[in-house]
Every structure is written in C-alpha cells, then in structure tokens.
Amino acid sequence: MTASKAATPQSPSAPLVPASSDARTLVNKLWSYCNVLRDDGVSALDYIEQLTFLVFLKMAHEQMHRRIMPIDILGFDAWQQLLDLEGVELEVRYTEILAELAGRPGVLGRIFKKSQNRIQDPAKLKRLIRELIGKEVWAGTNTDVKGDAYEELLAKGAEDVKSGAGQYFTPRALIETMVDCTQPTIHDTVMDPACGTGGFLLKAFEYIQHHLPADASQEEKDRLTSGAILGNELVDATARLAAMNMVLHGIAPSSAKTSPITVGDALAEPPKQHASLVLANPPFGKKSSITIISDEEDDFERKELTYSRRDFWATTTNKQLNFVQHIYTLLETYGRAAVVVPDNVLFEGGVGETVRRRLLQQCDVHTLLRLPTGIFYAGGVKANVLFFEKPPPRQDGKPLTRTLWVYDFRTNQRFTLKQNPLHRHALNDFVKAYRPGEPRDQRRATPSFKPYPVEELLSRDKVSLDLLADLKDNTLEVTDLTVEPHALARQIVDELEAALSEFASVAEALRPRGPVAEPGVSNE
C-alpha cells in the first residue's frame, strides 16, 4: 500500500543523531589501512568496495554459525575459506568467490556484480581479513553502529575528491533537512532515481522508524524493509555500495531475492513503479549523451540516435530538466517530491521555460530553498531544493500551483567542506519557516522567506524562478580566504556555462525549421 491523501503527517523531528563514537572508532581503524593501500594504487572508492565484499562475507559467516536459528546465505562458508588460506592461494580463491557470487540473484548478485579483487598484495589482503574485519562481530553489531560506520566511510571516500567519490555524496545535513520537511511515513513508497550510495533512502527509513505508529501492523513493518524503500543508480560500483548500505541498515535482508537498488539509466524508459515520495539529487552536468524525444516534439532527423519518452513534456539534452520531468512521471497522485536542482533549471530559456510552465500548471510547486556554494564536493555549484506535490487536476483547468515560497539560504552564507562545513542546525530556521505537516497558509513572510503567487511567476520572462537573486550579499565585499582557488574557478565556469546556455536557447529559437538553401544555391 502506498501513501494516499489521507496519510497523516507527523511533527518535524529533531536532527537525526550523528554517527556514534563506536562507529567513528571503527571507521578510524578501517580508514587507517586505506592509507597503506594507497601506495599500491587502491583508491578510496576501491577500498570501500573491497570492504563491502569482505564485510558481507564476514556477516554471512556469523549468521551461518550463530547458535540460535543459523542462516546459510551463501551455501558455503566463504569467509572461513579465506581465513584458512595464505599467499597466492588466498588471492586466487578470493577472486573465484567474487565471480561465483556475482552470478547469484537478488541482493547478493547486486552487491557482487562485476566485482574484482583490487588488493593485489596477498599479505595486505590477509591482514584486512584477519585483523581489521575479522576481529569485529558485524552481524551481531547494533545496526546503527555498523550502518553509521559504513556511512562515515562513504563520507571519507567523498572527501577524497580525486577518487571521484564526491559526485555521489549529498551533504548529510541537507538530506536530513529534506527528509524532515517531507516527513515520510510507513505508508509511503520512497524512491530516489539517482540514489548514489543511498543517503536519501537511509534517512527516510530512519525517519519512518523514529516516527513509527504504535499501532503499525507487522505487514506494514515487513513492507518497510521489503519494497517501500527503492533506488536506482547508473554506475555499477556505486549501486553496489548502495545495496550494501541498505543491508547494513536493515532495509533489505541479505537473503532477499530482489534488490532495493536497480542499475541503469533512469531516463531510458517510463517508470514501471510509482512513488508517493521522491527524494533526489540528480547528477549535475549540462548535457546528456542521448537526446530525449517527447510526444509533442518528434524530431525524426535525430530519432535514430535517441530513445523516446512519450510521457515527457519537452525534448532536451539537459539532464537536470530531464530528471525533473522523470520525477514528475514517477509520482503517483498526491505524491510529493524534494529535488536538488542547479540554478540553470530555474532560469534557462527554451525547453527550460516549457518544463517550468508545465510544472507550475500540473504540480503544486510550493517551496524553493536557495542553497549556498561550498556544501557540495563539486566546487562552486549553485543549487536549490525544489519541493512540489502532484494533486489531481483542477476542474477549472487553473494551475495547481497557487503560491511559491522562496527561502534564501544563499545570501550572506559561506560554507566550505573542511573549515566551515554545513551542519543541520544551520537549516533550523528554514525548517521552522517551512512548517512541516502544517497548512501552508500559516506560513509567515520574512526578508529571507517570501511568497510569489503563480500569476506573477507565469508572467515573468521565461517563467524564471530565479527569485530573491537581487538580495545584497555583504560577504562579497571582503576577500573570502577560506574559499579554495579551484572552487572560485569552478564558480566562474558555472557562470559562463549558464550564460552560454542562454545564448544556445536563443540560437535554438532562431534555428530555421525547414530546408535551408546553401549560399548561392536555389531551393527551387
């Protein structure tokens, strides 16, 4: 059962508890060995992958040998085999085990799909097995401890920007804020079509558990861990981390026949399943390698090079605009969404205008949070969180959006990843102004939180939602020595890309639609 209009919202939660000291101790122990393996060319992301494989094998071993109700997940004791081997034999057997498990169905196959042994020194592999992972009791450890430890490892991997892990990581404080505002319930089906390592899904799950109704049935509880939390990820290696993350946090049993994480291009085809809540931070980047063809704009000249989405409003190579359209199609009636989008989604002309106009018409786009720079691992990114719902159409045909409330958390705010990272308490004022679970007509306007009626939005040039951009930023009057040069350079590049995108929209609008004669050649 998915969420319906009758689903009861719940009071906003306090910020979720950060990782425990036990988790950090475990992380520090495991991470210290990552530095040793760097000399062998093992990146942070590769190291976390190897931990994923080995921790799973250790957990299977523990469940196989527990005294009460043992479970044989693999059909053999892979961990014991690794413990009993040394040298080249250990390396060979470990590689064989990975290949064998990659062919299994369900969560097991998802975790081990395309897995490879990246630790080529058998002595270091042995130490990782025996001393670091082998001395921990993973299956018996409190889920919060081992799950938090895994999240902390992923966060450390994200800090290692050279490994590319940062692109899959959304700041925990922002995730918690989006979850607190959307208030997932046990009746929801929660989806993230670009889930990375699963951060949004985990926080939604934790929120639901923290607010579990006293009268929740066992069937509802079982559904929460077997079908209510779903994600999709394009990259195999990242999907593996997400699947293991789900298992460690208790979202999916390790013996599950189907994985909560699917792999593939979310934009390739219409959704097979719908959601009552979508939480997402789709990948940043201006262009997709494939052009989407909508039903309303059939370009036969490019059709052989594209795939078709007849459920989209417009054709574009802009990935963020495509994800906004895709998330709309994912939502069931009365569904809701919170989506991170870059600035260009708010003001880009051409297709951008079409998508914004349709979104205002066919959804209740009620809140926009303007984010500061310095909170993402991609430096200089200007982004926002768009909150919207999908009510049934109005009989009078008027837009479903009535008022868009815009909160400015960007002006006079400065964050950096290391010296001044974003924490959840910094967003308390926004959550208070948002008033989760309360009627939006009870909101109050402030200098940083202003309402805009839909009539004003639809009358703006290109239906631009780049609002409150004229506020004076006093921090720009001084030199910010905490901002790293590469972040400033990235910001300049983003500004130039936005300007070029505007020029491209004008050029596209002026492009002749019929046959064009070459200079000096008649069309007759």
Domain ranges within the chain, ordered by starting residue: 21-154, 170-284+318-439+446-508
Look at the alpha carbons of 42, 46, 47, 50 in this order and tell me if their dihedral is positive or negative. negative
* 3-class secondary-structure state, position 26: helix
Give 355's contacts (C-beta < 8 A, 6+ positions apart): 313, 314, 316, 321, 324, 325, 345
State the pLDDT at residue 520.
45
> Token digits for 61?
């071993």
What are the backbone angles phi and psi of residue 480, rounded to the nearest 5°?
-95, 100
Q: What is the pLDDT of residue 304?
A: 36
Q: Element (H or E) spanning 458, and its range? A: helix 454-459
Q: How far is CA 126 from CA 56, 82, 100, in A?
A: 16, 8, 20
Q: Are 150 and 70 in contact (CB under 8 A)?
A: no
| Edge-first strand listing for the sheet containing 229-233 | 261-263, 229-233, 190-192, 275-280, 331-342, 383-390, 364-370, 403-408, 449-453
Rounded average pLDDT per 10-residue block, the chain, 524 residues: 39 43 74 77 81 86 87 90 95 95 88 89 91 78 64 68 56 94 97 93 94 93 92 88 83 81 92 96 68 55 55 89 96 97 92 96 98 78 94 94 96 83 94 96 95 96 86 50 53 57 56 50 40
Number of helices (H), then strands (E), in the chain: 17, 11
CATH architecture of 170-284+318-439+446-508: 3-Layer(aba) Sandwich (3.40)
Regarding beta strands 403-408 and 307-308, do their DSSP bridges make them parallel or antiparallel, or are they unpaired? unpaired
**Per-residue pLDDT at 12:** 39
Report d(CA 224, CA 275) in Å as an integer: 13
Q: What is the C-alpha R_g of the chain?
A: 25
pLDDT at position 305:
36
Distance between CA atoms of residues 198 and 203, nearest Å: 9
Selected from 1.20.1260.30, 3.40.228.10, 3.40.640.10, 3.90.1300.10, the CATH number assigned to the domain covering 21-154 reads 1.20.1260.30
Which pLDDT value is given to residue 171? 85
Please tell me the distance from the alpha carbon of residue 389 to that of residue 197, in angstroms, as a whole number: 25
Whole-number Å distance between alpha carbons of 330 and 192: 10
| Three-class DSSP labels, 188-242 | CCEEECCCCCCHHHHHHHHHHHHCCCCCCCHHHHHHHCCCCEEEEECCHHHHHHH
DSSP string, 368-420: EEEPPSSSSSSTT--EEEEEEEEPPPPTT---S--EEEEEE-STT----SSSS
Q: What are phi and psi of 92, to 5 degrees?
A: -65, -45
Give the per-residue pLDDT at 511.
59
Residue 415 near residue 372 (C-beta atoms within 8 A): yes
Could you tell me the pTM of the whole model?
Answer: 0.79
The structure tokens 């077997």 sit at: 226
Name residues whose C-beta falls within 8 Å of residue 369's C-beta, 6 or more positions apart in sequence.
Answer: 384, 385, 387, 407, 409, 430
Q: What is the DSSP letter of 130?
A: I
pLDDT of residue 418: 74
Sign of the torsion formed by the C-alpha atoms of 33, 35, 36 and 38: positive
Residues 236 and 263: beta-carbon distance below 8 Å: yes
d(CA 275, CA 246) in angstroms, rounded, equals 18
Q: Where are the alpha helices (DSSP H) in 6-121?
A: 21-38, 44-64, 78-83, 87-102, 106-112
Largest CA distance in the chain: 88
Distances (CA, A) of 504 to 199, 322, 359, 461, 475: 35, 17, 22, 17, 32
